[in-house]
Amino acid sequence: MEEKQFSACMERMKLGDKNALHEIYEAYVGYIYSIVYQIAANREDAEDVTSEFFIKLWRLADTYHGGNGHRAWMASIARNMAIDLLRKTKREVLAEDFGDYSEENASKECIEQQVISDMNLRQALDTLKPNEREIVNLKIMGDMTFQQIADILKLPLGTVTWRYQNAVKKLRRCGYE
Amino acid sequence: MSKDLEKEYKELAASETPDLWARIEAGLDTKKSSRKHIPYAAWAAAAAACLCVAVIVPFQTRNALSGGSGMDMAAAPEYAAEGIDASGMDRGGADARYCFAATVEILEADVRRNSGPVYTARVLDTDNAELRIDSEIQIYAPADDREALLEERQTYVLNLLEEMLDEGMVYRIAE
């Protein structure tokens, strides 16, 4: 969805047009769900936060001023909501701390059980660290620049590009370009 | 043979995304559909115009009959009491500012490098009739407020300035 189209939907939402929210939902539910799932790490919580995100977007339409970068704006809100949920449920897992153990186990499984080039994409993505997956997700689903991703994740630009390049190398080994 | 990462990634994401629309629609605030900005402003302007006519005409008539010089300054407090600027009908217009008090709960504090913090806040109470209770607003703080941030999840009573700029309504903490 283009910036103008998004702003127009938000204007219609101010007047109570639910179809406008539905248009935004159709365009971005996959994007928002993927961002939230990277953090929540389970379907039930990801569904809860994604639903609450669109309900919050409905209310935020009242004070939305438009401008550039609605994808980054939504990603930031969704991400914060997911992190808030983790904090509330006292699961102190933050993006930076996502278990290295999962990457280690996944890669052992990858080498022992699979011919790498025969992996499907889900398996290939499981070889990435969670913080690498998060960056890949924002890059592909959000079509964002590295600077925008760095701003959302509050990381240095160099860290974002380095992690992305690492992720791409791993995926390339699995046959994805 | 290389596989197209972006294409397959988006297809995978779409296949794994649940259908949440019914749940979202059930949670939407139905009061929103009955809100009408424009009619409210039009009624307020019409009421203000009627008041002006009702006050000015008798004075002008009386002054004309008695040879007086103009509007009685005793009328000024009525405008002030009604909250109407003596020179206009409403508080709009480019760069017009309106000061009001609001009790807000800070939901999010966004500290910015080159300007003051920007807060996302929920309105709990206010004397601004055009601001809805329970709505979420963004509040811009002065740059020197970076040292004394408002805390998330805390409630504050703030004096705010409402500014109508080209890009829309903006709220700032009054200095």
The model carries a pTM of: 0.54
Question: In this complex, is the C-beta atom of B125 within 8 Å of any C-beta atom belonging to chain A?
Answer: no
Q: Which of B21, B126, B160 should be substituted to probe chain A, the one whose Cβ sees the most A Cβ atoms within 10 Å?
A: B21
Helical ranges in chain B per DSSP H: 5-16, 21-26, 37-66, 76-82
pLDDT in tens, B80-90: 344 444 443 34
Cα separation values, B167 from A69, B49, B114, Å: 15, 28, 20
Instruction: Give the residue with greater pLDDT, A4 vs B73.
Output: A4
The domain locations on chain B are: 37-82, 97-173
pLDDT in tens, A29-87: 999 999 999 899 889 999 999 999 999 999 998 888 877 789 999 999 999 999 998 88
Whether pLDDT at B77 is above 90: no
What pLDDT is recorded for position A35? Answer: 94
What pLDDT is recorded for position A118? Answer: 61
Which secondary structure element, helix H or strand E, spans residue B123, and what is its range? Answer: strand B118-126
Cα separation values, B115 from B112, B118, B143, B144, Å: 6, 9, 5, 9
Which secondary structure element, helix H or strand E, spans residue B138, and what is its range? Answer: strand B136-140
What pLDDT is recorded for position A100? Answer: 40
Alpha-carbon distance of A12 to A17, in angstroms, equals 5
Instruction: Give the residue with greater pLDDT, A119 vs A115.
Output: A119
Q: How far is A108 from chain B (nearest CA, A)?
A: 23
Whether pLDDT at B93 is above 50: no
What pLDDT is recorded for position B43? Answer: 67
A110-114's contacts with Cβ under 8 Å and 24+ in sequence apart are none
Instruction: Give the residue with greater pLDDT, A122 vs B51.
Output: A122
Which of A17-21, A44-48, A49-53, B42-46 has the lowest average pLDDT? B42-46
Whether pLDDT at A173 is above 50: yes
What pLDDT is recorded for position B151? Answer: 86
Whether pLDDT at A154 is above 80: yes
- Top-tier CATH class for A3-88: mainly alpha
pLDDT in tens, A86-106: 888 766 555 454 434 344 444
Tokens in use for B138?
Answer: 């963004």
Torsion angle (degrees, nearest 10) of CA A20, A21, A26, A30: 150
For residues B4-27, give the mean pLDDT.
91
What pLDDT is recorded for position B1? Answer: 45
Of B25, B108, B137, the CB nearest to A18: B25
Of A13, A21, A62, the CB nearest to B135: A62
What pLDDT is recorded for position A76? Answer: 92
Task: Report residue B143's pLDDT band, with 50, 70 and 90 as the boundaries.
Answer: confident
Closest CA in chain A for residue B18: A47
Number of DSSP helices (H) and strands (E) in chain A, helices first: 9, 0
Chain-chain contact of A30 with B170 (C-beta, under 8 angstroms):
no
Residue identified by tokens 């995304």 is B17
Of A13, A25, A141, the CB nearest to B24: A25
Q: Say if domain A99-173 classifies as CATH 1.10.10.10.
A: yes
- Find residue A133's DSSP bridge partners: none
The domain locations on chain A are: 3-88, 99-173
What is the identity of the amino acid at B145? D
Whether pLDDT at B75 is above 60: no
Whether pLDDT at B167 is above 50: yes
Pick the CATH number of B97-173 from 2.40.50.810, 3.40.190.10, 3.55.50.30, 3.20.20.80: 2.40.50.810
Residues 6 or more apart whose Cβ sits within 8 Å of residue A82 = A35, A36, A39, A40, A45, A46, A49
Helical ranges in A15-99 per DSSP H: 18-40, 43-60, 70-88
Contact list in B for residue A34 (CB cut-off 8 A) is 13, 16-17
Q: End-to-end CA distance of chain A, in Å?
A: 25
